[in-house]
Amino acid sequence: MTAPYDPDDREKVVAKLPASLRRELKVRAAELGEDIQDAVTAGVTAWIDLEEHPAVDTSGGTSFATYLPVGLYGRLKAASAARKLSYNQGVAQSIRHWLDAHPSPRPAGPRTSGARRIVFGNQKGGVGKTSVSAGVAQAFAETGQRTLLVDFDPQGHLTRQLGYQMLEVEDPSLAKHMLGETSGLVRDLFVPIEGGDFEGRLWLLPSCKDAFLLDAKLATTRAVRIKETALERVLNEVEQDFDFIVIDCPPSLGYTMDTALYYGRTRKNEVEGMSGLVVPVQAEDSSGDAYDMLADQVDDLCEDLKVDIGTVGFVVNLYDARNGYIATSSLESWQSMDEPVLGVVPELKEQREAVRSKKPLLAYEPDCEQAQVMRSIAKRIKG
C-alpha cells in the first residue's frame, strides 16, 4: 500500500503540549533509538485510524515543534476537526497512543546489578573536564538513565556551575563519609538537578569546603587499603539506585584520584568497557603531556593492586579549527590513539553562558551544537 504522502516532504508543525508529555516522548524515543519526528509520524498515522482515544490533559502546555509529512499534517487537522477536538488535543492523543504502544525497554523496579561508573579525569586543569562530565551526565539522564553526578573536586566548580552551594566545613560530606568522620547516609546529601528533560533522573552529590583535606588525611591513615577503597565503600550503598555514577575528579594525581580510578576499575564479572576512565583533553601539546602522567598513574595502580582500569576514551574539548595547525594536528594525534575519541566539543558560547547563568547546558540551550555532542558522547559510552 502506498502512503498518501511523501515521507521526505515535511513541514514544521507546532502544538502546545504539557512538559511531562514532551519529556516522556523525548526519553522514550531515545530509549528505542527512534527519531522524534518519526515517532510522532507513526503516532499520528495510527491515531487517525482509531475510532476513539481517551482525552489527554493538555493544561499548562508550552510550544512543541516537529516535522510531519505534508499530506499527513492535513489529515491530522481534518481528523481533529471531524472529532470536534482541538488540534493540540489531536497531537497529544497521537503522542500518547504511540507511547502506550511502545513501552519502555527498561526493566521496572530496582536494578539487579550495580551502576556503571564513569570517571572523568585529567591531571591538567582548564580542559573543561567539569563541563564535559556534567553534560554527559545530563545526556544519560535524558534517555531515562538514573544518574548520580559526583563533584569530587575540592574546588567545587561543578557544584557552583549548576547553581548549588558547596557543603559547609561542619556539614556531613562525601569526604567525611570516606574518612569515617560522620554518621548517617551519603544519599541524604544528594540534591536533584532540575530544569531540563533529565529532571527526575539526575542528582548531584555536592563538593564540600573541607574536601581539600582529603588527600592529606588519606595519606596519613593507617587503615589497610583505605586509600584506594574509600570512595567505593561509601558509594556502594547507593549503586543499586542508579544506572550511571559519574565522577568529576580533581586535576591532580594524589590519593583522591587513586580512589576514583580504583572505583572505575573493571570489577569481577563485569564486561570490559562498562565502567572506566574518560579523559577530557584539548587539541594542544600540554594535554598530551598531562595524559602521559595520568596514564603512568593508572598503570602503576593496576600493577600494584592487580586490577584493570580501562580508558573508555577521550573527549577533545573546546576545539576550534581556526587555531590552525596546532589544533588540527593535535586532534589527529588524539584520533590515532588506541582508545577512541568519543566526541569533539566545539568552542562555542553556549557552554560559557550556561555556566554564567548557573544552569545545566542541556536545560539552558538543549538544541545547541555542544549539547548534541554531549548526547553523542553519552550514546557511545552506553554502547
Note the pLDDT of residue 190. 96
Classify each residue of 233-250 as buried b or exposed e, where b means 16 or more C-beta atoms within 10 Å of its C-beta.
ebbeebbeebbbbbbbbb
Q: Please tell me the distance from the alpha carbon of residue 4 to that of residue 328, in angstroms, as a whole number.
A: 48
Note the pLDDT of residue 2. 42
Domain definitions of the chain by residue range? 10-101, 116-382
Q: Give 240-256 pLDDT, tens digit per residue.
A: 999 999 999 988 888 89
Q: Please tell me the distance from the alpha carbon of residue 244 to that of residue 254, in angstroms, as a whole number.
A: 24
116-382 classified as CATH 3.30.390.30: no
Question: Residue 241, SS3?
Answer: helix
Give Cβ neighbours of residue 235 (< 8 Å, ≥ 6 apart).
Answer: 150, 186, 245, 263
Give Cβ neighbours of residue 20 (< 8 Å, ≥ 6 apart).
Answer: none
CA atoms within 13 A on the CB side of 348: 14
Q: First and final CA of the chain: distance in angstroms?
A: 36
Q: Give 148-176 pLDDT, tens digit per residue.
A: 999 999 999 999 999 999 999 899 999 99
Q: Give 292-313 pLDDT, tens digit per residue.
A: 888 999 999 999 889 999 999 9
Mean pLDDT for the stretch of residues 18-29: 84
CA atoms within 13 A on the CB side of 252: 16
Q: Please tell me the distance from the alpha carbon of residue 4 to that of residue 365, in angstroms, as a whole number.
A: 36
Q: Give 183-207 pLDDT, tens digit per residue.
A: 889 999 999 998 888 989 999 999 9
Confidence of residue 225 (pLDDT cuts 50, 70, 90): low
Please report which helix (H) or strand (E) contains residue 15, including its range. strand 10-17
Please provide the average confidence, as pLDDT, over all residues in the chain. Answer: 88
Q: pTM to 2 decimals? A: 0.78
Confidence of residue 263 (pLDDT cuts 50, 70, 90): very high
Name the CATH code of domain 10-101 (choices 3.40.50, 2.50.20, 3.30.160, 1.10.1220). 1.10.1220
Of 100 and 24, more confident: 100
Of 98 and 329, more confident: 98
Confidence of residue 226 (pLDDT cuts 50, 70, 90): low
